[in-house]
Amino acid sequence: MTVTLTGAGAALPERILSNHDFAHLDTSDEWIVQRTGIRERRRLAEDASLAELAALACERALSDAGVTPQDIGHVVVATSTADRISPGMAVEIATLLGIDRPAAFDLSAGCSGFVYALDHAIATIESGRAEHVLVCGAEALSRITDHTDRNTAVLLGDGAGAVVVSKAPGSLRPTFALGSDGTRIELLYVGQDRLMRMRGREIFESAVDAMADHTELVLKQSGLSPDDLDLFIAHQANARIVQAVARRLGVLGDRVFLNVDKVANTSSASIPLALAHAREQQLLSPGAVLGLAAFGAGLSWGAGIITWRAPAAGRGMTGPAADRGGR
């Protein structure tokens, strides 16, 4: 028995902002696309509930996994923009879904939050305390955006993604590596004014180094090579960052997933949104080996290897790893 992802779901606010909607900030579609790959992002209405959007993503993930709310005893939500300071959104999301009195809490680790939450979910299942854990990343970054600052305003989007993490047959044990460095908090933070400040150029290189190094580390710990990854999903902050990490790893072409063009940087919602969009595009087959990597405020980072569901019966692992007889 091991632990796999068994379902994924996404939910985006309806309102779309194109790059042209930021022309008043002395920027251009050309600059934004060339420097980031972003073409549009979603915006949650000011009076809308992020918990409701997140619950929709969770409902879709549960339905994708074929898991009922009664099967869920733990709900973890990664976010830095919850509807209330306290309680976190997990309790409200669980109630909206009809999950009866689960362990439910929010976790704040910047853009790395989802990877931290996933690591926690895996540990909970591996310790025998749950069979299925619901993990959600949800952000309304528009609530903490300085809408007059072109350095950040064009980069950020709102949205929610969720996965179901389950005990499942299979032979590849998930491997995660997490880290942080509090000596560089000032590079990316949200202060008492509740506005995000970022020194993007300085973050760029650290993000590439940390995500590449930690993905290499978890691959090594799993006894895998980059060739064994069926899909690499990194935090979607900037297409150039994702491509630089992928180049360092030697993972190229359609094994590198990108949806930053459609959703921009959604912080802790980024990886679960990407997983759900990869699922919608039928890029996840049973047994697919996924590499995940994130980097953000803290500074914090994390990378992990996990499979999408159990390999189809009698078929062993899919992808290049199958040639090695599974793991």
Please list the active-site residues. 111, 235, 265
Shorter beta-carbon distance to ligand UT7: residue 179 or 200:
200
Residues that bind ligand UT7 (CB under 6 A): 27, 31-32, 35-36, 111, 150-151, 154, 188, 200-201, 203-204, 207, 237-238, 241, 265, 295-296
Which residues, 6 or more positions from 128, have their beta carbon under 8 angstroms from its beta carbon?
A: none
What's the min distance (Å) between Cβ of 159 and ligand UT7?
Answer: 14
Output the six-digit token pair for 61: 């993930």
Burial class of residue 34, CB neighbours in 10 A (0-12, 13-18, 19+): exposed
Angle separating helix axes 239-249 and 200-222, nearest 10 degrees: 40
Shorter beta-carbon distance to ligand UT7: residue 222 or 238:
238
Nearest to 17 by CA among 175, 107, 142: 142
Per-residue DSSP letter, 84: S
Shorter beta-carbon distance to ligand UT7: residue 34 or 68:
34
What's the min distance (Å) between Cβ of 256 and ligand UT7?
Answer: 16
What's the min distance (Å) between Cβ of 188 and ligand UT7?
Answer: 6
Output the six-digit token pair for 152: 């950040």
At residue 264, what are phi and psi to the nearest 5 degrees?
Answer: 60, -160
Shorter beta-carbon distance to ligand UT7: residue 22 or 176:
22
Tell me if 29 sits within 8 A of 41, measured CB to CB.
no
What's the min distance (Å) between Cβ of 236 and ligand UT7?
Answer: 9
DSSP assignment of 206-228 equals HHHHHHHHHHHHHHHHHT--GGG
